[in-house]
Amino acid sequence: ASAPTLFQPLRVRGLELHNRFVVSPMCQYSADDGHLTDWHFAHLAQFMIRGAALTIVEATAVTPNGRITPQDSGLWQDSQTAPLKRIVDFAHSQGQKIGIQLAHAGRKASTVAPWLVPKGHTSAVASKEHGGWEDNVWAPSAIKYAEGYATPKEMSRDDIAAFVQAWKDATRRSVEAGVDCIEIHGAHGYLLTEFLSPLSNQRTDKYGGSFENRTRLLFQTIEAVRSVIPESMPLFLRISATEWMEHESSPSWTIEDSIRLAKLLPAAGVDLLDVSSGANSANQKINLHRYYQVNLAGQIREKLQKDGLKLLIGAVGMISNAEMARSIVQEGKDASAEGTGAATHDTVEVAEESGQVTQADLVLVARQLLREPGFPLRVAHQLGVEVKWPNQYHRGGWSRNAKI
């Protein structure tokens, strides 16, 4: 029998992924004035040598005020390219692919790293003494996210122009560093999400109001990025497919908006939609279950396929075992999970909660890789797929008799 889709290659423009495992971007709050450090090298390298097809470098700020914390990475000046290139070169020396997520934190900028938040609070503003910039936090409207965040200033037209130019410059630096793809961070309540959502965007100019106006800055950003990357380089976009605010009467960004947006993305030059959710409102209500987010990916993929539109879909969120990872991307007739040693319980969940077989073209994994950097290798073993380990680890592979 052929390998499960999870371990089959996927070509996106000029990028050949050897399987469907992607390391989701993960902020480390460990940069030095925006420069990646040895921590990032060690953190990212452990995934690059353990089986994923693509590693995406953490949310990297396009302007200094687009950092979540003063310790976030950035690409707003040329000196920040070299430490990124060092990591990219290592990835390529291992035959690995590497992408970068570019971002602007908008009204969620200038906070302290999570481990510095005082007990009993969810966030805290980084004051000037702590390297913060609470008087220069950008947002579409002067509406604060929640307690523990700065009150943002409404972006002027000049700020918007500077923002778009900063995306171009940071993308150019990413290309100079040699990355294989770019992901635009349009999720989690950061600046681009804030423009999409009528809850955070109350502008009356051409950037606020209608769906077309609220998505304008996103499309300008996509255009800016696409204009400086090679034709052969894939462009990914991460969005929050819903902000989980349907329980409130005010209009919010919903899955229907995401489907409408997704249909416009192939023509704009986006190759893959990375489907996340939430984090633009402190009042969000999530009915949490293992597939709560993966199902959003599945819904969008199904609608696009019906319309014959070609947009790859990435699923993310709570993917932490072999059967879940396998079944999300499995194409064609879903082979039974029998003999894989995987939990059949999850197969039942897929059937009952999603009602469809293929929900995405690839899976992005974050927390399971923190728990277990060799997760993709373990999954391969559980699914009976032979994968190459680094030469240096030739004695370490899962043997046929290895107990897991």
Q: Which positions are annotated as active-site residues?
A: 190
CA distance 138 to 155: 6
Q: Residue 36 interacts with ligand FNR (CB under 6 A)?
A: no
DSSP assignments along 327-384, one per residue: HHH--SS----TTTT--HHHHHHHHHHH-SS---SEEEESHHHHH-TTHHHHHHHHTT
Among residues 301, 308, 286, the alpha carbon closest in space to that of 355 is found at 301
134, 317, 327, 347 from 351: Cα distances, Å: 47, 18, 10, 6
Nearer to ligand FNR, 208 or 316 (CB): 316
Distance in Å, CB of 354 to ligand FNR, minimum:
17
Q: Residue 324 interacts with ligand FNR (CB under 6 A)?
A: no
For ligand FNR, which stretch binds (CB under 6 A), given 146-154, 219-227, 251-259, 317-325? 317-325
Distance in Å, CB of 391 to ligand FNR, minimum:
29
Q: Residue 365 interacts with ligand FNR (CB under 6 A)?
A: yes
Q: Residue 298 interacts with ligand FNR (CB under 6 A)?
A: no
In 5-38, which positions are buried (b, 16+ CB within 10 angstroms) versus exposed (e)?
bbbbebebbebebbbbbbbbbbbbbbbeebbbee
For ligand FNR, which stretch binds (CB under 6 A), given 76-84, 119-127, 139-147, 314-322? 314-322
Q: Residue 317 interacts with ligand FNR (CB under 6 A)?
A: yes
Distance in Å, CB of 316 to ligand FNR, minimum:
5
Distance in Å, CB of 336 to ligand FNR, minimum:
25
Residue from 6, 31, 36, 59 that binds ligand FNR (CB under 6 A)?
59
Q: Say if CB 67 and CB 126 are below 8 A apart.
A: no
Q: Which two tokens stand for residue 144?
A: 């604060």
Residues of this chain that bind ligand FNR (CB under 6 A): 24-27, 58-59, 101, 185, 187-188, 238, 276, 316-319, 365-368
